[in-house]
Structure 1
Amino acid sequence: MRQLATLPDDLLRLPVAHRALHDRSDGRPENSRAAIRAAIAAGYAIEIDLQLTADGQAVVFHDYDLKRLTAETGAVRKRTAAELEQIPLTGGDGEGIPGFDEVLALVAGQVPLLVEIKDQDGAMGPDVGPLEAAAAAALAGYDGPVAVMSFNPHSMAEMARLAPDLPRGLVTSAYDPSKWPLSPEVCDHLRRIPDFDRVEAAFISHEAADLGRARVRALHGEGVPVLCWTIRSLAAEAAARKLADNITFEGYLAAIPG
């Protein structure tokens, strides 16, 4: 029986900078090279997001649309990686949207990476594959501490097929239907975290306000590492650490254990 990949120790020890150590007021947009360099310098683990381009590449960007984070509009996946590189991130120094390969070369194992593969189906369904393939190809030669995760269990099932030795996890939530563009049935399904064993997950990263959920506590009681998102103050961090093994944070500087 194959030994399941486990979460790197430093992704349990080092606070995880959400979308890297971003601060637009200081010229560091989220998921930017500047934010990644700042997180490395501070010694934090880094969470980044992947989206798919028109030419099948993985780029480091959170949203499906360009409008919140750039002066452009339209879907990321309608542009090529070369085109996205030329679109400056708002609040930065003119740098464009980075490719995943470039970010891996920039981090180069100096700190752990937690890579979220954004749902490409639109409804957490099975229409996935190209982004996972691009991510797996980029990570094939990477030897730093890294793990991948997604809200979409089908994405992690595909990563299990493409890169079985890569640690993977599920991003999980209370899935309040009023806050998600999903059907109540899909919310009910995902809320129960029924796919954990099917995708051979090594961890979950759960919504911080919902860490007391019975299913989350049961997984934790079975020895499953529980990370959480997104912490925005020292007080929230203190509360979350009573129930979670590590935090994903933004908007303040989390303490790094000695």
Structure 2
Amino acid sequence: MTARPIAHRGLHGEGLAENTLTAVEAAIEAGYGVEVDLRLTADGGLVMIHDAMLERTTFRAGRVLDHTLDELRAVAVRGCDETLSSVTDLLALTSGRAALFIELKAPPGEAAKAAMTAAIGRALAGYGGAAAVMTFDVDLLAMLRAALPDTPLGILAGGEAKAASLVNRFGRDMLLHLPRTRADFVAYFATALPHPGPWLARRKRPVLAWTVRSRAEARRVAPYADQIIFEGFAA
């Protein structure tokens, strides 16, 4: 899990769009681990995209959750010659050649979270490579713990929106949910490091720093994290 730096949304940049198979392949060829984002589709599939809306990274508009997987797999991605890819496409390409870190973008509602849990469980059931799953959503992580007992599971924290109450934000940033979620690793916002929450968590589990955007930042967070999730430079 911590052997190599992890390319954020694949090794994207000039001519390589984020969360595409080409960016994933570039990261693998460079010897990095790979981080990608998955979202739930209207029919219970999983598609590789970061945003809840399609506009920023594709030539379509609207919510990802309002489209079926087949519809989304025909949507062209901006900045490259690819269309959106499914989790099946992703796993077929990686095929165990690199450590894969899958961030699940939690949908609203318990039923949708259960559907996402079932979908990633089906996808990983026959996968023989190294794969970890992580999310910002504590409730989704608890579901994943029950469904994926043999998969490393992680919580993302430290950089979320500050709309919640001060009490809730304190509990979230201090990772007070860990006795419930039993996360195997923590991915913490690099800008927020050092922080007592991940410092305490690191006694029992690895801490990853995200998203590191320069060598200088990588050096700064090195004492506080076991590995980096990076973009924008050669780690």
**1:64 aligned partner:** 52
Calculate percent identity across the aligned residue pairs.
36
Aligned-residue CA RMSD (Å): 1.7
Report how many residues are paired.
Answer: 235
Classify the secondary structure of the residue corresponding to 1:204: strand
Any gaps of 5 or more consecutive residues in structure 1?
1-10
Deviation, structure 1 residue 131? 1.1
Q: Which residue is equivalent to 2:229? A: 248
Tell me, yes or no, if the aligned pair for 2:174 and 2:196 is still in contact at 8 Å.
no
SS at match of 2:133: strand
**What is the aligned partner in structure 1 of residue 128 from structure 2?**
143
**In 2: Cα distance, 1:59 partner to 1:176 partner:** 24
- State the partner residue of 1:213: 195
Q: 1:42 to 1:101 in 2, by over 3 A?
A: same
Task: Flag the 1:242–1:190 CA change in 2: closer, same or farther, 3 A.
Answer: same
Question: Bigger CA drift: 210-219 or 130-139?
Answer: 210-219
Residue matched to 1:50: 38
Which residue in 1 is equivalent to 2:85?
A: 98
Q: 1:183 to 1:59 in 2, by over 3 A?
A: farther
Q: 2:145 aligns with which of 151, 157, 160?
A: 160
Q: Are the counterparts in 1 of residues 138 and 181 from structure 2 also a CA contact under 8 Å?
A: yes
Q: Deviations over 1:41-62 (max 9, x none)?
A: 1111000111011111011111
Structure 1 Cα separation of the partners of residues 160 and 24 of structure 2: 29
Post-superposition offset of 1:223:
3.0
Please report how far the alpha carbon of residue 199 of structure 1 lies from its aligned counterpart in structure 2 after TM superposition.
1.4
Q: Which residue of 2 aligns with 1:6?
A: none
Superposed displacement of residue 184, structure 1: 4.6
Partners of 1:127 and 1:100 in 2: how far apart?
17
Contact 1:176 1:187 in 2 (8 A): no
Shift of 1:167: 0.9
Cα deviation, residue 186, structure 1: 3.7
Partners of 2:52 and 2:233 in 1: how far apart?
26
Q: 1:111–1:213: structure 2 CA closer, same or farther, 3 Å change rule? A: same
C-alpha deviation, 1:189, in angstroms: 3.1
1:42, 1:66 → 2: CA distance? 29
Distance, in Å, in 1 between the alignment partners of 2:139 and 2:193 is 23
**Greater displacement, 196-205 / 107-116:** 196-205
Moved over 3 A (4+): 181-186
1:189-234 deviation line (CA, Å, top 9, x unaligned): 31221111211211100001112111221122x2321001001111
Q: Aligned match of 1:130 in 92, 109, 115?
A: 115
Higher relative contact order (CA 8 A, sep 6+): 1
Question: Which residue matches 1:117?
Answer: 104
Structure 1 position 235, deviation (Å): 0.5
- Alpha-carbon offset, residue 176 of structure 1: 5.7
Where do 5+ consecutive residues of structure 2 fail to align?
Answer: none
What TM-score, normalized by structure 1, do the two folds share? 0.87
Q: How many angstroms apart in 1 are the aligned matches of 2:159 and 2:87? A: 30
List aligned pairs for 1:176-255, cutoff 5 A.
Answer: 177=162, 181-220=163-202, 222-254=203-235
Q: Are the counterparts in 1 of residues 194 and 221 from structure 2 also a CA contact under 8 Å? A: no
Residue 127 of structure 1 and its aligned partner are, at CA, apart by 6.1
1:170 aligned partner: 155
